Amino acid sequence: MDVQEIIGLTAAQAIAAIERGDLDAVELFSAYRRRAEEDELGAFTWVAEHLPADMHADGPLRGVPLAVKDLFCTAGIPSQSGSKILEGYLPPYTATSVARLEHAGATIVGKTNQDEFAMGSSNENSAFGPVLNPWDRTRVPGGSSGGSAAAVAAGLAPWALGTDTGGSIRQPAALCGIVGLKPTYGTVSRYGMIAFASSLDQAGPLTRDVTDAALLYRHMVGTDPNDATAVGHPEEIRLPTAERLDGLRLGVPTELTSGEGLEPGVLAAFEATLETARGLGATIEECSLHSAPHALSAYYVIAPAEASSNLARFDGVRYGLRREADDLVSMYTGTRHDGFGAEVKRRILIGTYALSSGYYDAYYGRAQRVRTLIAREFASVFERCDLVVTPTSPGVAFELGAKTADPLAMYLNDSFTVPMSLAGIPAISIPCGLSEDLPVGFQLAGPAFSENRILDAAHALERAIGFDGSPARTRTGATS
Protein backbone atom coordinates (compact mmCIF):
# COMPACT_ATOMS: atom_id res chain seq x y z
CA MET A 1 0.00 0.00 0.00
CA ASP A 2 1.13 3.56 -0.66
CA VAL A 3 0.84 6.23 2.02
CA GLN A 4 -2.37 7.68 0.62
CA GLU A 5 -4.07 4.29 0.79
CA ILE A 6 -2.82 3.74 4.33
CA ILE A 7 -4.04 7.14 5.53
CA GLY A 8 -7.44 6.48 3.96
CA LEU A 9 -8.07 3.44 6.16
CA THR A 10 -10.13 3.64 9.31
CA ALA A 11 -8.53 2.03 12.35
CA ALA A 12 -10.75 -1.05 12.00
CA GLN A 13 -9.81 -1.35 8.32
CA ALA A 14 -6.12 -1.02 9.17
CA ILE A 15 -6.43 -3.78 11.79
CA ALA A 16 -8.12 -6.03 9.22
CA ALA A 17 -5.38 -5.26 6.65
CA ILE A 18 -2.67 -6.16 9.19
CA GLU A 19 -4.42 -9.41 10.05
CA ARG A 20 -4.66 -10.31 6.33
CA GLY A 21 -0.99 -9.55 5.84
CA ASP A 22 -1.70 -6.68 3.43
CA LEU A 23 -0.21 -4.09 5.78
CA ASP A 24 2.62 -4.14 8.28
CA ALA A 25 2.10 -2.51 11.70
CA VAL A 26 5.54 -0.89 11.56
CA GLU A 27 4.74 0.57 8.14
CA LEU A 28 1.45 1.95 9.49
CA PHE A 29 3.10 3.55 12.51
CA SER A 30 5.89 5.05 10.40
CA ALA A 31 3.41 6.60 7.98
CA TYR A 32 1.49 8.34 10.76
CA ARG A 33 4.62 9.36 12.64
CA ARG A 34 5.87 11.17 9.54
CA ARG A 35 2.53 12.90 9.12
CA ALA A 36 2.45 13.93 12.76
CA GLU A 37 5.96 15.38 12.42
CA GLU A 38 4.71 17.49 9.48
CA ASP A 39 1.75 18.79 11.49
CA GLU A 40 0.94 22.39 10.49
CA LEU A 41 -2.23 22.66 12.57
CA GLY A 42 -0.65 22.84 16.02
CA ALA A 43 -2.39 19.57 16.84
CA PHE A 44 0.58 17.89 18.55
CA THR A 45 2.70 18.91 21.53
CA TRP A 46 4.95 15.83 21.28
CA VAL A 47 5.58 13.26 18.53
CA ALA A 48 7.31 9.90 18.97
CA GLU A 49 10.85 9.90 17.60
CA HIS A 50 10.82 6.21 16.79
CA LEU A 51 8.84 3.01 17.10
CA PRO A 52 8.57 1.99 20.77
CA ALA A 53 10.47 -1.14 21.74
CA ASP A 54 7.47 -2.56 23.62
CA MET A 55 4.97 -2.28 20.75
CA HIS A 56 2.19 -4.88 21.18
CA ALA A 57 1.34 -5.53 17.53
CA ASP A 58 -0.02 -8.96 18.45
CA GLY A 59 -2.83 -7.41 20.55
CA PRO A 60 -6.36 -6.92 19.20
CA LEU A 61 -5.54 -3.33 18.15
CA ARG A 62 -2.53 -4.59 16.17
CA GLY A 63 -0.20 -1.67 16.86
CA VAL A 64 -2.49 0.94 15.29
CA PRO A 65 -1.14 4.43 16.18
CA LEU A 66 -3.01 6.41 18.83
CA ALA A 67 -2.90 10.15 19.51
CA VAL A 68 -3.36 10.96 23.21
CA LYS A 69 -4.56 14.22 24.73
CA ASP A 70 -1.87 16.06 26.66
CA LEU A 71 -3.62 15.69 30.05
CA PHE A 72 -3.18 11.89 30.20
CA CYS A 73 -0.11 10.89 32.16
CA THR A 74 2.24 8.83 29.99
CA ALA A 75 5.40 7.47 31.62
CA GLY A 76 8.50 9.24 30.33
CA ILE A 77 6.50 11.27 27.79
CA PRO A 78 5.68 14.97 28.32
CA SER A 79 2.24 15.33 29.94
CA GLN A 80 1.59 19.04 30.30
CA SER A 81 -2.19 19.52 30.14
CA GLY A 82 -1.64 22.47 27.80
CA SER A 83 -0.15 24.50 30.67
CA LYS A 84 3.12 26.32 31.21
CA ILE A 85 3.02 25.27 34.86
CA LEU A 86 3.59 21.65 33.74
CA GLU A 87 5.84 22.36 30.77
CA GLY A 88 8.21 19.42 30.25
CA TYR A 89 6.67 17.30 33.03
CA LEU A 90 7.52 13.60 32.62
CA PRO A 91 5.20 11.40 34.73
CA PRO A 92 6.57 8.22 36.33
CA TYR A 93 3.42 6.26 35.42
CA THR A 94 0.78 5.92 32.70
CA ALA A 95 -2.94 6.63 33.02
CA THR A 96 -5.05 3.49 33.33
CA SER A 97 -7.09 4.14 30.18
CA VAL A 98 -3.94 4.67 28.10
CA ALA A 99 -2.22 1.65 29.62
CA ARG A 100 -5.23 -0.53 28.75
CA LEU A 101 -5.14 0.63 25.15
CA GLU A 102 -1.39 0.02 24.94
CA HIS A 103 -1.87 -3.47 26.39
CA ALA A 104 -4.51 -4.08 23.70
CA GLY A 105 -1.98 -3.11 21.04
CA ALA A 106 -2.42 0.63 20.46
CA THR A 107 0.86 2.53 20.01
CA ILE A 108 1.22 6.18 21.06
CA VAL A 109 2.28 8.26 18.07
CA GLY A 110 1.94 11.65 19.77
CA LYS A 111 0.42 13.81 22.50
CA THR A 112 -2.19 16.31 21.33
CA ASN A 113 -2.66 19.98 22.10
CA GLN A 114 -5.58 21.13 24.25
CA ASP A 115 -7.05 24.05 26.13
CA GLU A 116 -5.10 24.51 29.35
CA PHE A 117 -6.30 21.98 31.95
CA ALA A 118 -9.20 21.24 29.55
CA MET A 119 -10.74 24.67 30.21
CA GLY A 120 -12.03 25.97 26.90
CA SER A 121 -14.23 25.47 23.87
CA SER A 122 -11.87 26.59 21.11
CA ASN A 123 -8.35 25.26 21.87
CA GLU A 124 -7.09 28.83 22.01
CA ASN A 125 -6.21 28.63 25.72
CA SER A 126 -3.20 26.34 25.32
CA ALA A 127 0.20 27.56 26.52
CA PHE A 128 1.57 25.91 23.37
CA GLY A 129 -0.50 27.93 20.91
CA PRO A 130 -3.88 27.43 19.26
CA VAL A 131 -4.93 24.49 17.12
CA LEU A 132 -6.27 25.21 13.63
CA ASN A 133 -9.34 23.59 12.14
CA PRO A 134 -8.34 21.39 9.16
CA TRP A 135 -11.49 22.42 7.28
CA ASP A 136 -10.54 26.11 7.48
CA ARG A 137 -7.30 27.17 9.13
CA THR A 138 -8.72 30.56 10.07
CA ARG A 139 -11.19 28.82 12.41
CA VAL A 140 -11.06 26.94 15.70
CA PRO A 141 -11.32 23.14 15.98
CA GLY A 142 -13.36 23.32 19.19
CA GLY A 143 -12.12 22.39 22.62
CA SER A 144 -10.80 21.33 24.86
CA SER A 145 -9.80 18.18 22.90
CA GLY A 146 -9.17 20.25 19.78
CA GLY A 147 -5.77 18.77 19.04
CA SER A 148 -7.14 15.23 19.12
CA ALA A 149 -10.10 16.17 16.90
CA ALA A 150 -7.98 18.08 14.38
CA ALA A 151 -5.41 15.26 14.19
CA VAL A 152 -8.07 12.68 13.35
CA ALA A 153 -9.95 14.93 10.92
CA ALA A 154 -6.73 15.84 9.11
CA GLY A 155 -5.53 12.25 8.81
CA LEU A 156 -2.58 12.84 11.15
CA ALA A 157 -3.79 9.97 13.36
CA PRO A 158 -6.32 7.20 12.73
CA TRP A 159 -7.97 7.82 16.12
CA ALA A 160 -7.34 9.72 19.32
CA LEU A 161 -8.07 9.84 23.01
CA GLY A 162 -9.78 12.88 24.50
CA THR A 163 -11.66 13.90 27.63
CA ASP A 164 -15.11 15.39 28.09
CA THR A 165 -16.04 17.48 31.13
CA GLY A 166 -18.80 19.59 29.60
CA GLY A 167 -18.52 18.76 25.90
CA SER A 168 -14.78 18.61 25.25
CA ILE A 169 -14.99 15.47 23.10
CA ARG A 170 -18.34 16.05 21.41
CA GLN A 171 -18.00 19.74 20.51
CA PRO A 172 -14.59 19.48 18.75
CA ALA A 173 -15.78 16.29 17.04
CA ALA A 174 -18.73 18.26 15.66
CA LEU A 175 -16.61 21.22 14.54
CA CYS A 176 -14.06 18.95 12.85
CA GLY A 177 -16.51 16.56 11.18
CA ILE A 178 -15.63 13.36 13.06
CA VAL A 179 -17.16 11.08 15.71
CA GLY A 180 -16.75 11.73 19.44
CA LEU A 181 -18.12 9.58 22.28
CA LYS A 182 -18.53 10.73 25.90
CA PRO A 183 -19.11 7.56 27.90
CA THR A 184 -21.22 7.09 31.01
CA TYR A 185 -19.37 8.62 33.94
CA GLY A 186 -17.45 5.88 35.73
CA THR A 187 -17.14 3.38 32.90
CA VAL A 188 -13.56 4.51 32.22
CA SER A 189 -10.97 5.04 34.94
CA ARG A 190 -9.85 8.60 35.59
CA TYR A 191 -6.59 7.48 37.21
CA GLY A 192 -3.71 9.30 35.55
CA MET A 193 -5.89 12.00 33.99
CA ILE A 194 -4.74 15.45 35.16
CA ALA A 195 -7.96 16.53 36.84
CA PHE A 196 -10.16 19.51 35.99
CA ALA A 197 -13.54 18.67 37.58
CA SER A 198 -13.45 15.22 39.15
CA SER A 199 -17.22 14.58 39.20
CA LEU A 200 -17.48 15.38 35.48
CA ASP A 201 -14.22 14.40 33.73
CA GLN A 202 -14.47 11.31 31.52
CA ALA A 203 -12.17 9.88 28.86
CA GLY A 204 -13.43 8.81 25.46
CA PRO A 205 -12.55 8.25 21.80
CA LEU A 206 -12.42 10.62 18.82
CA THR A 207 -12.54 8.65 15.57
CA ARG A 208 -13.39 8.78 11.88
CA ASP A 209 -16.45 6.57 12.23
CA VAL A 210 -18.72 4.95 14.80
CA THR A 211 -17.18 1.49 14.46
CA ASP A 212 -13.77 2.85 15.45
CA ALA A 213 -15.34 4.64 18.43
CA ALA A 214 -16.84 1.38 19.68
CA LEU A 215 -13.60 -0.50 19.05
CA LEU A 216 -11.46 1.94 21.03
CA TYR A 217 -13.99 2.35 23.83
CA ARG A 218 -14.40 -1.41 24.39
CA HIS A 219 -10.72 -1.60 25.38
CA MET A 220 -10.96 1.38 27.77
CA VAL A 221 -13.80 0.31 30.08
CA GLY A 222 -13.35 -1.41 33.41
CA THR A 223 -12.97 -1.03 37.14
CA ASP A 224 -9.73 0.21 38.65
CA PRO A 225 -8.43 -0.12 42.23
CA ASN A 226 -6.81 3.29 41.75
CA ASP A 227 -10.14 5.01 41.00
CA ALA A 228 -13.09 4.35 43.32
CA THR A 229 -15.49 5.96 40.81
CA ALA A 230 -14.56 3.49 38.06
CA VAL A 231 -17.42 1.00 37.98
CA GLY A 232 -16.85 -0.47 34.54
CA HIS A 233 -19.72 -1.42 32.23
CA PRO A 234 -22.39 -4.09 32.79
CA GLU A 235 -22.35 -5.07 29.11
CA GLU A 236 -19.64 -6.03 26.68
CA ILE A 237 -19.19 -3.18 24.21
CA ARG A 238 -20.20 -4.54 20.81
CA LEU A 239 -19.13 -3.34 17.40
CA PRO A 240 -22.27 -1.75 15.90
CA THR A 241 -24.01 -3.43 12.99
CA ALA A 242 -27.46 -1.78 12.90
CA GLU A 243 -28.67 -0.46 9.55
CA ARG A 244 -32.21 0.45 10.63
CA LEU A 245 -33.84 2.28 13.54
CA ASP A 246 -37.13 0.39 13.54
CA GLY A 247 -39.03 0.99 16.77
CA LEU A 248 -36.45 3.40 18.21
CA ARG A 249 -38.04 6.38 19.97
CA LEU A 250 -36.07 9.61 19.64
CA GLY A 251 -36.92 12.52 21.92
CA VAL A 252 -36.25 16.07 20.74
CA PRO A 253 -36.08 18.42 23.76
CA THR A 254 -37.52 21.80 22.84
CA GLU A 255 -35.18 23.57 25.25
CA LEU A 256 -32.08 22.23 23.43
CA THR A 257 -33.20 22.51 19.82
CA SER A 258 -34.31 26.11 19.62
CA GLY A 259 -33.55 29.54 20.97
CA GLU A 260 -31.06 32.31 20.47
CA GLY A 261 -27.65 31.31 19.17
CA LEU A 262 -28.69 28.26 17.16
CA GLU A 263 -27.47 28.93 13.63
CA PRO A 264 -30.02 28.36 10.82
CA GLY A 265 -27.64 26.07 8.92
CA VAL A 266 -27.10 23.89 11.98
CA LEU A 267 -30.85 23.65 12.59
CA ALA A 268 -31.44 22.72 8.94
CA ALA A 269 -28.86 19.91 9.10
CA PHE A 270 -30.35 18.68 12.38
CA GLU A 271 -33.89 18.61 10.98
CA ALA A 272 -32.70 16.83 7.83
CA THR A 273 -31.11 14.17 10.04
CA LEU A 274 -34.38 13.73 11.91
CA GLU A 275 -36.05 13.02 8.57
CA THR A 276 -33.34 10.49 7.79
CA ALA A 277 -34.02 8.82 11.16
CA ARG A 278 -37.74 8.66 10.32
CA GLY A 279 -36.90 7.02 7.03
CA LEU A 280 -34.95 4.37 8.91
CA GLY A 281 -37.97 3.53 11.07
CA ALA A 282 -37.48 5.74 14.13
CA THR A 283 -40.32 7.67 15.73
CA ILE A 284 -39.66 11.30 16.62
CA GLU A 285 -41.43 13.10 19.42
CA GLU A 286 -40.96 16.33 21.30
CA CYS A 287 -39.99 16.15 24.96
CA SER A 288 -39.05 18.65 27.63
CA LEU A 289 -36.06 19.12 29.90
CA HIS A 290 -37.31 22.10 31.88
CA SER A 291 -34.08 22.65 33.81
CA ALA A 292 -31.74 22.30 30.82
CA PRO A 293 -31.53 26.09 30.21
CA HIS A 294 -29.98 26.38 33.68
CA ALA A 295 -27.40 23.67 33.06
CA LEU A 296 -24.72 26.01 31.79
CA SER A 297 -25.00 28.26 34.86
CA ALA A 298 -24.84 25.27 37.19
CA TYR A 299 -21.88 23.81 35.31
CA TYR A 300 -19.89 27.02 35.54
CA VAL A 301 -20.23 26.93 39.31
CA ILE A 302 -19.60 23.20 39.87
CA ALA A 303 -16.70 22.74 37.44
CA PRO A 304 -14.71 25.82 38.59
CA ALA A 305 -15.34 24.89 42.22
CA GLU A 306 -13.81 21.46 41.65
CA ALA A 307 -11.02 23.01 39.58
CA SER A 308 -10.09 25.39 42.40
CA SER A 309 -9.56 22.36 44.63
CA ASN A 310 -7.81 20.16 42.05
CA LEU A 311 -5.42 22.86 40.84
CA ALA A 312 -4.29 23.79 44.35
CA ARG A 313 -1.66 21.03 44.01
CA PHE A 314 0.23 23.04 41.38
CA ASP A 315 2.30 25.22 43.68
CA GLY A 316 5.89 24.89 42.50
CA VAL A 317 6.89 22.56 45.33
CA ARG A 318 6.73 19.00 43.98
CA TYR A 319 6.80 19.27 40.18
CA GLY A 320 6.40 21.67 37.30
CA LEU A 321 7.28 25.35 37.12
CA ARG A 322 8.84 27.00 40.20
CA ARG A 323 9.52 30.70 40.69
CA GLU A 324 12.16 31.15 43.38
CA ALA A 325 11.40 33.78 46.01
CA ASP A 326 12.45 34.91 49.49
CA ASP A 327 9.43 33.35 51.21
CA LEU A 328 6.92 30.57 50.62
CA VAL A 329 3.90 32.76 49.86
CA SER A 330 5.87 34.78 47.28
CA MET A 331 7.04 31.52 45.66
CA TYR A 332 3.45 30.25 45.45
CA THR A 333 2.25 33.57 44.07
CA GLY A 334 4.97 33.92 41.45
CA THR A 335 4.68 30.31 40.31
CA ARG A 336 0.90 30.37 39.89
CA HIS A 337 0.90 33.86 38.36
CA ASP A 338 3.37 32.86 35.65
CA GLY A 339 2.26 29.26 35.26
CA PHE A 340 -1.50 29.57 34.81
CA GLY A 341 -3.17 31.23 31.84
CA ALA A 342 -5.99 33.77 32.03
CA GLU A 343 -8.88 31.32 31.61
CA VAL A 344 -7.55 28.97 34.28
CA LYS A 345 -7.08 31.87 36.69
CA ARG A 346 -10.64 33.04 35.96
CA ARG A 347 -12.12 29.65 36.78
CA ILE A 348 -10.02 29.17 39.91
CA LEU A 349 -11.24 32.54 41.19
CA ILE A 350 -14.88 31.73 40.36
CA GLY A 351 -14.63 28.33 42.03
CA THR A 352 -12.88 29.58 45.12
CA TYR A 353 -15.51 32.29 45.55
CA ALA A 354 -18.35 29.78 45.11
CA LEU A 355 -16.90 27.57 47.84
CA SER A 356 -16.08 30.37 50.27
CA SER A 357 -17.78 30.77 53.63
CA GLY A 358 -21.17 32.40 53.31
CA TYR A 359 -21.51 31.65 49.57
CA TYR A 360 -21.33 27.84 49.44
CA ASP A 361 -25.09 27.26 49.77
CA ALA A 362 -26.02 30.21 47.58
CA TYR A 363 -23.88 29.05 44.66
CA TYR A 364 -22.36 25.56 44.88
CA GLY A 365 -25.24 24.03 46.83
CA ARG A 366 -27.84 25.52 44.51
CA ALA A 367 -25.89 24.40 41.42
CA GLN A 368 -25.82 20.84 42.73
CA ARG A 369 -29.58 20.93 43.22
CA VAL A 370 -30.00 22.02 39.58
CA ARG A 371 -27.76 19.12 38.59
CA THR A 372 -30.03 16.71 40.44
CA LEU A 373 -33.11 18.15 38.72
CA ILE A 374 -31.51 17.73 35.30
CA ALA A 375 -30.61 14.10 36.02
CA ARG A 376 -34.19 13.41 37.17
CA GLU A 377 -35.65 15.06 34.06
CA PHE A 378 -33.47 12.94 31.78
CA ALA A 379 -34.61 9.83 33.67
CA SER A 380 -38.23 10.87 33.20
CA VAL A 381 -37.75 11.47 29.48
CA PHE A 382 -36.08 8.07 29.06
CA GLU A 383 -39.20 6.38 30.41
CA ARG A 384 -40.91 7.14 27.10
CA CYS A 385 -37.96 7.81 24.75
CA ASP A 386 -35.02 5.55 24.02
CA LEU A 387 -32.60 8.34 23.14
CA VAL A 388 -32.52 12.14 23.23
CA VAL A 389 -31.18 13.93 20.15
CA THR A 390 -29.94 17.50 19.69
CA PRO A 391 -27.47 19.46 17.61
CA THR A 392 -24.04 19.00 19.19
CA SER A 393 -23.08 22.65 19.00
CA PRO A 394 -25.27 25.69 18.28
CA GLY A 395 -22.90 26.82 15.54
CA VAL A 396 -20.16 25.67 13.21
CA ALA A 397 -16.49 26.39 13.78
CA PHE A 398 -15.98 30.11 14.41
CA GLU A 399 -13.00 32.27 13.51
CA LEU A 400 -9.90 32.31 15.67
CA GLY A 401 -10.10 35.12 18.20
CA ALA A 402 -13.79 35.77 17.57
CA LYS A 403 -14.89 34.92 21.13
CA THR A 404 -11.76 35.13 23.26
CA ALA A 405 -12.73 38.54 24.66
CA ASP A 406 -16.24 37.38 25.61
CA PRO A 407 -16.16 34.39 28.00
CA LEU A 408 -19.95 34.07 28.07
CA ALA A 409 -20.15 33.82 24.26
CA MET A 410 -17.45 31.13 24.43
CA TYR A 411 -19.24 29.19 27.18
CA LEU A 412 -22.49 29.13 25.15
CA ASN A 413 -20.83 26.76 22.68
CA ASP A 414 -21.36 24.02 25.29
CA SER A 415 -25.05 24.71 25.90
CA PHE A 416 -26.18 21.48 24.16
CA THR A 417 -23.50 19.21 25.67
CA VAL A 418 -23.31 20.31 29.33
CA PRO A 419 -26.71 18.84 30.40
CA MET A 420 -25.57 15.30 29.57
CA SER A 421 -22.32 15.85 31.46
CA LEU A 422 -24.14 17.01 34.58
CA ALA A 423 -26.40 13.94 34.41
CA GLY A 424 -23.41 11.61 33.88
CA ILE A 425 -25.04 9.94 30.87
CA PRO A 426 -23.41 8.82 27.61
CA ALA A 427 -23.65 10.84 24.40
CA ILE A 428 -22.10 10.70 20.95
CA SER A 429 -21.62 13.28 18.22
CA ILE A 430 -21.61 12.23 14.58
CA PRO A 431 -21.22 14.47 11.53
CA CYS A 432 -24.55 15.04 9.80
CA GLY A 433 -23.81 17.52 7.03
CA LEU A 434 -22.35 20.91 6.24
CA SER A 435 -23.33 24.50 6.88
CA GLU A 436 -21.32 27.17 5.08
CA ASP A 437 -18.94 24.37 3.99
CA LEU A 438 -18.19 23.48 7.63
CA PRO A 439 -19.23 20.32 9.51
CA VAL A 440 -22.33 20.08 11.70
CA GLY A 441 -22.67 17.57 14.54
CA PHE A 442 -25.72 15.50 15.56
CA GLN A 443 -25.81 14.37 19.20
CA LEU A 444 -27.47 11.21 20.52
CA ALA A 445 -27.71 10.69 24.30
CA GLY A 446 -29.14 7.80 26.30
CA PRO A 447 -29.53 6.51 29.86
CA ALA A 448 -26.49 5.46 31.86
CA PHE A 449 -24.72 2.41 30.37
CA SER A 450 -26.69 2.57 27.08
CA GLU A 451 -23.56 2.91 24.94
CA ASN A 452 -24.40 -0.13 22.81
CA ARG A 453 -27.79 1.31 21.89
CA ILE A 454 -26.30 4.71 21.15
CA LEU A 455 -23.52 3.22 19.00
CA ASP A 456 -26.01 1.11 17.02
CA ALA A 457 -28.26 4.11 16.35
CA ALA A 458 -25.30 6.29 15.42
CA HIS A 459 -23.98 3.59 13.08
CA ALA A 460 -27.31 3.30 11.25
CA LEU A 461 -27.55 7.08 10.86
CA GLU A 462 -23.91 7.33 9.79
CA ARG A 463 -24.50 4.83 6.99
CA ALA A 464 -27.63 6.61 5.81
CA ILE A 465 -26.12 10.11 5.94
CA GLY A 466 -22.98 9.09 4.08
CA PHE A 467 -20.97 12.09 5.29
CA ASP A 468 -17.67 12.46 3.44
CA GLY A 469 -14.98 13.75 5.77
CA SER A 470 -12.25 13.53 3.15
CA PRO A 471 -12.20 17.26 2.30
CA ALA A 472 -10.74 17.93 5.76
CA ARG A 473 -7.86 15.53 5.14
CA THR A 474 -7.36 16.82 1.62
CA ARG A 475 -7.07 20.45 2.72
CA THR A 476 -4.12 19.65 5.00
CA GLY A 477 -2.05 18.76 1.97
CA ALA A 478 -1.96 14.97 2.34
CA THR A 479 0.38 13.43 -0.21
CA SER A 480 1.08 9.89 -1.28
Beta carbons of 380 and 374 less than 8 angstroms apart? no
| Catalytic choice (69, 111, 182, 403) | 69
Residue 415 among the catalytic residues:
no
Task: Please tell me the number of Cα atoms within 13 Å of 299 on its side-chain side.
Answer: 28
Peptide bond between residue 435 and the one before it cis (omega within 30 degrees of 0): no
Beta carbons of 425 and 448 less than 8 angstroms apart? yes
Distance CA 316, CA 301 (A): 26
Beta carbons of 335 and 285 less than 8 angstroms apart? no
| Catalytic choice (168, 308, 415, 450) | 168
Element (H, E) at 67: strand 65-69
| Catalytic choice (81, 122, 144, 148) | 144
Closest to 165 measured CA to CA, from 206, 204, 128: 204
Residue 380 among the catalytic residues:
no
Give the angle 101-104-109 at the CA atoms, nearest 5°: 55
Element (H, E) at 461: helix 451-465
3-class DSSP assignment, residue 347: helix
Element (H, E) at 216: helix 210-218
Residue 69 among the catalytic residues:
yes
Q: Cα Rg for the chain, rounded, in angstroms?
A: 21
Task: Please tell me the number of Cα atoms within 13 Å of 479 on its side-chain side.
Answer: 4
Contacts of 1 (CB under 8 A, 6+ apart): 17, 22, 23, 27
Q: Which residues are identified as catalytic?
A: 69, 144, 168
